[in-house]
Amino acid sequence: MAKIRNVRARRGAAAVEFAFMVPIMLIVSFAIMEYCRYLMLLNLANNACRNGARYASVNTANGTPPPSGPGTVTTANIQARVTADMCGQQKALTGSGSFPPPLVYRANPATGAPATDATGPNWYAASYGEPIAVQINGQYKPIFGGAINFAMPPTFTVTVMVNSEGN
């Protein structure tokens, strides 16, 4: 008789424990998915910047602006290539409501910032061996923004520098 009484006292315990644990497990699961998405976007942006920087490095003109006409590589071409390499995921980054265009510039090799010497920061002015940088800036926009509310969404900056091949 004592055994039956003990079972009856615990009859709803599993349902109560389940009700307490499900919200916690859902929040943890969504947080893990959001973090994985952030890392995927970081990797995707890094690859897109690397491809854009490589494209710029093989199309430098040793200090002369690119000529106009078909087959000419311009800053807009490099930005379009980087945006295309983002595979539509650039919507997860916001600047002022939309994906900010990638920056392409001749970089200071020590800091990675745009060059400030007499030649200027134009990427096409990089001579052989000088670094060219492609940079993506934005603010990460989470999918589950309401459920996992970031007080301040993380800023997102990816910079890749490669040396010019000065053709």
What's the CA gap between 64 and 158, in Å, rounded? 27
Residues 6+ apart with CB under 8 A from 37: 92, 142, 143
Does the structure show a pLDDT above 90 at 9?
A: no
Q: Which of 52, 161, 149 is nearest to 109 (CA)?
A: 161
Does the structure show a pLDDT above 70 at 122?
A: yes
Beta pairing, strands 131-140 & 93-94: antiparallel
What is the number of other CB atoms lying within 10 angstroms of the CB of residue 19?
Answer: 10
Does the structure show a pLDDT above 80 at 136?
A: yes
What's the CA gap between 93 and 91, in Å, rounded? 5
The SS3 call for residue 145 is: coil
140 backbone φψ class: left, alpha, beta (φ>0; ψ -120 to 50): beta
User: What percent of the chain has a predicted confidence (pLDDT) above 90?
Assistant: 33
> Which of 1-10, 81-90, 92-101, 127-136 is predicted least confidently?
1-10
Higher pLDDT, 153 or 62: 153
